[in-house]
Each structure stands twice: as C-alpha cells, then as structure tokens.
Structure 1
Amino acid sequence: MKRILLTGMSGTGKSTLIRALAARGYKAVDADCDELSQWIEVKDPMGAEVTPVDGNRDWVWREERMHHLLSTEDAEVLFVSGCAENMPQFFPRFDLIVLLSAPASIIVERLRSRTTNQYGKQPGEVARVLRLVESVEPRLRRAADYEIDTSLPLEQVMAALLRLL
C-alpha cells in the first residue's frame, strides 16, 4: 500500500482535498479528528518554538492510533491529511509527503469563510497561523517530496496530486 501524507498550515485545503479524494473512492483519512488526535498539556509553552493552539494545550496525533492506521493494508493507496507537532516521527512511514500551500491572503480568506471548522475565526488564531506559515511551513517544505499550490481550483489540485501516483 502506498501511503501519502497531505500536510500544510490551516487554511491550505487539507480537509477539502481529503474529502474530495474520499468522494472519488480513495481511502482518505483526515487526522484532524478526535479518533486520531487529542489535546495534550504543553509543559513549557513559553519555551516552545511553536506556541500551543489553546493556552497550554496543543492538538497532537494519537501515536498508537496513527501507527495502527499506517500499518493497515486494506487499500492500494492511503491518503492522510493533517499537521501536528508530533507528525515528523511518522514521516518515515509515508511513501510521499506532499505540502499543500497557498498565499497568506488566500489562507486568511479561507479561515474566515470556512464552515466545517471554527479554528481561525479569532484574530489571535489567524495571527498564529500566519506565524506558523513563516516558522513551520519552511520545515515542512524541506521534509516534503512535493509541494502543490492550493490557490488553484480544486480539480487542478486533485489532478496534480493524482499525477504523483
């Protein structure tokens, strides 16, 4: 089974793309859910390179559940979308890592207008996302095998992704 990680900052279209893949019949899993992710207390948020999402709490992948998901052999291709602080430990388990990116103005508009997720509605959350674009996205870019600009229409983004298969 080929395992593909779709990652990127909030507002880059990870959830939209993973839903479109599932609608086409692919095994496509959004890791940003209670089943695969959880809130944890951050011991030293002021010393952390990346600030927690919510006060002293951060949203991370449930390691045992992600290991189980990535060990399951029930499809030709598995697409997983998400971005979490503990995600890099799973990078070796993926055959491809695809960074989804978009200009800051598009990210801000998507955060403002999305209805499926409340994160990004508050000014502090938008500011945090934009800081992460500057600090975390370059590290994701270095880890990624490919980058897709999601400011393109969804069908073009999907076509670019499926060409990688």
Structure 2
Amino acid sequence: MAVIFVTGMSGTGKTTALNRLEQRGYRVVDTDVGGWIEDLPLSEGVGTEPQWREDRIDALITEHEISGKPLFIAGTVLNQGKFYPRFDEIVLFSAPLEVMLERIATRDTNPFGKTAEQRDQIVADTAEVEPLLRVSATVEINTHKPLADVVDQLAAFAGHSPNKIHFRCRP
C-alpha cells in the first residue's frame, strides 16, 4: 500500500496531474473538492484558515492502508503535517512563479487566483509557505516539464500500474 501526498502552491499542476493518474486507473483524492476541507479557527484565535477535516482524512487513509491499493492525495492546508507520518511520499510540486500565475490566469477548472488580491496572495504564499513545504517534502518535482513526465514520476511512487495484471510464475 502506498499513500502518496502531493502538495504545492496554486498553479503548480496538482489537479491536472491527479486527473491524469485517475485516467490511468489510480485512486486519487483532490482535497480541494468534495468536502475534505473546512474553515477552522486559527490557534491564535484570530481568523480562520482552510484545514482538512481530520476525521475524513483519517478514514480515507485507514481504508487504503487496509486495501493495499495505492492512493494519491493532493492539497495544501494548514494541518496537513499531522498526517505526514502516514504518507509514504510527500511530493512537493513547484514551478516558476510566472508559470504558476499564467496557469492560474488561463485555467477554467478553479476560480481561485482570478482577482488581483488572490494573485497577490499567491505571490506572498509562494514566498512564505513554499519553503515550509519544501522542508517537509520527501521529493520535489518541478512541474514546468512535460505533464507526462510529471505523471510518470508520480506513478513510480505507487509501485505498479493498477491497470496491469501481475502474474507470478511458479517454478
């Protein structure tokens, strides 16, 4: 069983890569959609921050620990570090800032990053948050290379393709 966590700033290609992995037959969960995240108060008591619903993430990982099937999870939230010990790989997606901003400007699958304020937040988060993610990552993939290469590199962490049947020959 492999649980591979993909994290990174907005516009690095997490959703696109997971969609390709899903097309190859892998189980993927993009935590940006589907009720995996809720706004919770910050520990300082001022404001809220999107965080994983820990009960749901715990159940998801437990299910896959039992199943023995690989799982790819993607997201970037404040409390993701609580689950790092349960991931086989923590993969940081990175790309040059200008590439990220161009992708965000042209994507139609996610409205985040369309306003000047949101783009400023992406620039600030890239400077502040990405270095913290880098320290915790087990591997970094620069997603400014061809998508197929990125997806192949991710799939290698899962061990084998879920679409292939493996036979064991007896001597």
Q: TM-score of the superposition, structure 2-length normalised? A: 0.85
Q: Tell whether the 8 Å contact from 1:99 to 1:146 is kept in structure 2 after alignment.
A: yes
Shift of 1:11: 0.6
Which sections of structure 2, spanning at least 5 residues, go unmatched? 160-171
Counterpart AA for 2:2: K
Larger radius of gyration: 2
Find out whether 1:62 has 2:47 as its counterpart: no
Q: Does 1:163 align with 2:134?
A: no
Q: Establish whether residue 78 from structure 1 lines up as the match of residue 71 from structure 2.
A: yes
Structure 1 residue 69: deviation in Å?
A: 0.4
The alpha-carbon deviation at position 109 of structure 1 amounts to 0.5
Q: How big is the shift at 1:58?
A: 2.4
Q: Residue deviations 1:54-109, cap 9 Å, x none?
A: xx442211110000001013352110000001111111110100000000000100
Provide the identity percentage. Answer: 38
Q: Which residue of 1 aligns with 2:19?
A: 19
Task: Please give the secondary structure, in 2, of the residue aligned with 1:119.
Answer: coil
> Which residue of 2 is the match for residue 143 of structure 1?
136
Contact persistence 1:27–1:75 (CA under 8 A): no
Aligned to 1:52: none
Q: CA RMSD in A?
A: 1.3
User: Between Structure 1 and Structure 2, how many residues are aligned?
Assistant: 154
Q: Which runs of 4+ in 1 moved over 6 A?
A: none
Cα distance in 2 for residues equivalent to 1:33 and 1:59 = 12
**Which runs of no fewer than 5 residues in structure 1 stay unpaired?**
45-55
CA distance in 2, matches of 1:114, 1:74: 34
Contact kept in structure 1, 2:32 and 2:75, CA below 8 Å: yes
User: Normalised by the size of structure 1, how large is the TM-score?
Assistant: 0.88
